[in-house]
Structure 1
Amino acid sequence: MKVGPLIVAGYDCEIFEAGPGRVVRRSRDGRSLEREAAVMRHARRHGFPAPEIFDADGPDILMERVAGPTLLEEAARVPGRAAEHGGLLAGLLRELSAVRSPGWLQAAAGRPGNRLLHLDLHPGNVLVTGDGPRVVDWANAARGAPGADAACTWLILATATVTDPSLREERRDLVAAFLDGIDPVAARPHLRAAAERRCAERDLPAGEKDEIDRFLSRETGEASM
């Protein structure tokens, strides 16, 4: 696809200008993003706030340009709203749990289920817009039980490396509000699988694996990974 100037370069993908209200998301390693585009189309057709997809071709997705900060950036800009943000994340997962997965989507590890899972729904992947939140980065999407999605978000919120001191102070309120909005009993059996996925990420910050080990021990009583 023809693209304009680079907007942002991430570890996995780059985002380019592509005309008014549009961007191209391009994988840096050349892998196809057509499955990811199909997942976002499916989620959006079922009323979930994913960006609109206009086209997909191999490593490129032509998609809606979503204007707004991430929830993480908004939390740093306007502190003191941790409970609101935790509730928002829980609400998004409840909404997504109502969406049946397309039959062709691979199953997530762990307990079976037929719901659409994002499996990376955290404050950095939620954009705050004037029309409400938009959830981006569906690379990990799979089919399974909603508890698996809640476990993934719970793990990230509780263990992700946070460099901003003000955000570290608000983490407890954020996690507490999130847990108030989900079913922790249903999520807890999926925590180990979520931890294994998280620890397999190539760009996991140093020290976060130790946080994950402590979290698993505290929440599940299991031995460290």
Structure 2
Amino acid sequence: MDDQVLLGSGRDADVFALDEGRVLRRYRAGGDVAAEAAIMAYVGSLGYPVPRVDRAEGPDLVMERIDGPTMLRAMVEGELAITDGAEILADLHRRLHELPPRPNSAPGTRVLHLDLHPDNVLLGPRGPVVIDWLNGTDGEPELDLALSALIAAEVAVNDMFGSGALAESFLRVFLGAVSGDPLRLLDSAVARRRGNPTLSAEEVSRLDSAATLVRALSTDVRQAG
């Protein structure tokens, strides 16, 4: 580890620079990244923007280094308009859910990310790239939409990092741009977030308020449209 530079840390993992073109994502609790690597390889083979995976072994995922800010940072710093960011995220959902289902998946399901929010999109030289596929699986696309909407609403109601107003504006545009109904599986999204062990007790306590905001803004968007 001495020759590896820490680039960042999330709730589950640390990311280290290996060289100019590769990074190592290491999960602190251990585990096996094989399923995550497989879903990244699948969507990447169909042209979806994900980092190239070079090696997956135990808790370690070696992959392409994407140089560029997260979408969240770009919006907070004024480098990317809120409207543009929300529309990009909605388009990333659309593109993902239009991919053909994986072999042997249940009828009607598609590949889901289940944690697709602005901090998991890097704005690299080849455009937006989606990272952090730990939760990736097959399922109903509207669960993906509901989770993205709920996560944005959590930031809004918690005013995380002083970005509450920004998050609410983002959510309003996102709800108007998506294809599909983020409300249909919103209760399932809340239950999933409630069971997330990385959320604090305070964050969990505000999930109902976040869901209420999603419903209210969705109603406003529908009436305005």
TM-score range normalised by the length of the shorter chain: 0.7 to 0.9
Answer yes or no: is 1:176 the counterpart of 2:196: no
Give the deviation of 1:72 after TM superposition.
Answer: 1.1
Q: TM-score, normalised by structure 2?
A: 0.85
Answer yes or no: is 1:114 the counterpart of 2:99: no
Give the deviation of 1:68 after TM superposition.
Answer: 1.0
Answer yes or no: is 1:163 the counterpart of 2:160: yes
Q: TM-score, normalised by structure 1?
A: 0.85
**Cross-structure match for 1:152:** 147
Give the deviation of 1:70 after TM superposition.
Answer: 0.9
Give the deviation of 1:218 after TM superposition.
Answer: 6.0
> Aligned residue pairs: how many?
214
AA in 1 matched with 2:91: G
CA RMSD of aligned residues (A): 2.5
| Distance (Å, rounded) in 1 between the aligned partners of 2:32 and 2:74 | 31
Give the deviation of 1:190 after TM superposition.
Answer: 0.8
Percent of matched pairs sharing the same residue? 33
**Cross-structure match for 2:122:** 127
Give the deviation of 1:2 after TM superposition.
Answer: 10
Q: 1:118 to 1:3 in 2, by over 3 A?
A: farther
**Bigger shift: residues 126-135 or 200-209:** 200-209
Q: 1:22 to 1:209 in 2, by over 3 A?
A: same
| Distance (Å, rounded) in 2 between the aligned partners of 1:170 and 1:162 | 9
Q: 1:83 touches 1:176 (CA, 8 Å); kept in 2?
A: no
| Distance (Å, rounded) in 1 between the aligned partners of 2:142 and 2:132 | 19
**Cross-structure match for 2:78:** 78
Give the deviation of 1:205 after TM superposition.
Answer: 4.2
| Distance (Å, rounded) in 1 between the aligned partners of 2:213 and 2:160 | 23
**Cross-structure match for 1:16:** 16
For residues 74-117 of structure 1, the C-alpha deviation after alignment (integer angstroms, 9 at most, x for no partner) is 11111782111111111110010111332467xxxxx9732000
**Bigger shift: residues 10-19 or 36-45:** 10-19
AA in 2 matched with 1:88: I
**Cross-structure match for 1:187:** 182
Give structure 1 stretches of 5+ with no counterpart: 106-110
| Distance (Å, rounded) in 2 between the aligned partners of 1:181 and 1:35 | 30
| Distance (Å, rounded) in 2 between the aligned partners of 1:154 and 1:112 | 25
| Distance (Å, rounded) in 2 between the aligned partners of 1:190 and 1:140 | 17
For residues 115-165 of structure 1, the C-alpha deviation after alignment (integer angstroms, 9 at most, x for no partner) is 000000001101111221110000111111211111110111112333343
